[in-house]
Structure 1
C-alpha cells in the first residue's frame, strides 16, 4: 500500500513550486519603458548646448603638427607624468598648464576648441602653419542605479550625452524612473543637481543633456519595483504556508496508511 504513495510528497512539492512561480508574471510597467514620446521639432534639434570646458584636475592631450615636423616635435616632447594610467598636461589648481617654450598657459574655463585656437596663435611665433588638437584625456562620467551595468564610463573624445551614457551602461531596467533622472555636476567649485526626463523630447533642451566631465547620473527605481517586490514576497509566504499544510497532510496520510 505504501508504494502507491511513495511519489506523493515529491509530486505535491512540484505542483506547489509551479503554482507559486507561474504567477510571478511580467512587470506591469512595460508601458513606461519608452523614450522621447513626443515628436522632435527642428527648433528643438537646433538648441545650443553648453560646451564642455576645461577644469582644474583635467588631463589634456595636446598634439601639435606642422610641415616643419622637427619644430612641431619640440612642443610634443612631453605631456607630463601619467596619473592613473592617463597621460597629458595636468591642469593645476589655478587652472594653468605648463608647456615647453610657452610657459604657463591659462586653460580653465575654455572649451577644447577655444584652447586650440589660442595655442595656434601663440605658436605662430615659433611654427608657421601649425595645427593643434586638444581633448580631455581623463573625461569620465559615472552611472548609478537602475541600469543594466552601473559603473564609470571613460570618454576618450570628451563628448557624451546622457542617452549615450545610459546606452553604454546597458540601458535602463524596467523599473527605472525615466521622467526624473538625477544628474549631479560640480561646476565652479559648487555642486548642482539637475533632473532630466528622457521620456520626453524636451530632454534636448536640457542643460544636462550633454554631459560634463565627472558628472554622476543616478537613475531612481520606480515605485512599481517596491510594489512588485512586496507582492512577490507576500505571495511566496502564502505559498510556503500552503506547502507546509499540504506536506503535513501528506505525512499524516502516510502515517495512517502505515498503521
Structure 2
C-alpha cells in the first residue's frame, strides 16, 4: 500500500467514525426489524407516594363556601388559577417528619401516601370532626406542579415544572428543547429518590421497547441526565459535511506548514 492510499484510507476512516449515525438520532425505533406493526403493552405508571419537601395544593369546597373558608389558604376558594410561585408559598410542604400543617386540622401525616389516600384522609377527618355528610364536602389534593430536573445535552437545562398529573420521559425532553445532536439517546440516566434510597437507571430512547420500562413515566423530583456522545469530544464534526470541512482545514494547515518549512 503506497502513501497516497494509506492517507486516503485514513481520511475515509476519520470521516465515517466522526459522523453521528442516523440510528443514534431517531427515537423509538423497532429494533426487531420485523417490518410489521408491533403491539406494545404499556406499563401503567405506579401512583406516586409523597416524600419530604413535596408541595401539595389542597382545596376544600362545600355548598356554602363560608363553611370551609377557614380550612383553605387565602386564595384557594377564589377559583382563580395560581402561578408556580403562589402554589409554592400558599401550598402545604411535607416537612422532615412527613407532615403537612393545615388550618384548623393541624398536622396531618402524608409521607408515603398517594394523593388519593391523602384526599380520603382529609375528607374523613372533616366529616368526623366538623361536618355532616349533608354538607357535601368536596376535597381535591394535587401536587403543586410536576417538577423534574434535566441536565446534560439538551436544549434547555434546569428544573422544570409541568402542571399535569403524569409526565413521561419523551414529554420531559420535548419541554426541555429536545436532546442535542451530540446527546446520547441510547443511555439517558434517570436518578430517582425512593423510600429505600436513590435509584439510578439508564434507558435507551432509540428503542421502542423503552415504553415498557418502569422509568418511561417519570415521578416528581426525578433527575434526568443526558450524556454526550464521544463524537463531541473529538471535535471533528457532527455531520459528514462538518467532518470534511475539518479534514480540509487540517490538510490546508499541514500543507501550509510544510511549504513554509521548505522555504
Measured against aligned partners, the alpha-carbon deviations of 1:133-188 in whole angstroms (never above 9, x if no partner) come to: 11222642111112122222113345321111111111112222222211011212
Task: Give the structure 2 partner of residue 240 of structure 1.
Answer: 253
Aligned to 1:29: 21
Unaligned runs of 5+ in 1: 1-23, 253-259
SS at match of 2:206: coil
Equivalent of 1:203 in 184, 188, 210 = 210
**Residue of structure 1 equivalent to 2:34:** none
Are residues 1:89 and 2:89 paired? no
1:110 pairs with 2:103? no
Name which one, 1 or 2, has greater alpha-carbon Rg: 1
| TM-score, with length taken from structure 1 | 0.73
Cα RMSD (Å) of the superposition?
Answer: 3.0
Q: Deviations over 1:188-246 (max 9, x none)?
A: 26211011111223222222112122211111122333345386767634322334556
**1:66 and 1:159, CA in 2 relative to 1: closer, same or farther beyond 3 A?**
same
- Equivalent runs, 1:123-134 vs 2, <5 Å: 123-125=126-128, 126-127=130-131, 128-134=135-141
Long gaps (5+) in structure 2: 1-14, 31-36, 76-83, 238-242
CA contact (8 A) 1:89 1:98 kept: yes
Q: Secondary structure at the match of 1:35?
A: coil
Q: Does 1:57 align with 2:70?
A: no
Output the CA distance in 2 between the equivalents of 1:31 and 1:59: 40
Q: For 2:123 and 2:236, locate their aligned partners in 1 and report how far apart those are by CA, in whole Å.
A: 59
Query: For residue 156 of structure 2, what is the aligned residue in structure 1?
Result: 149
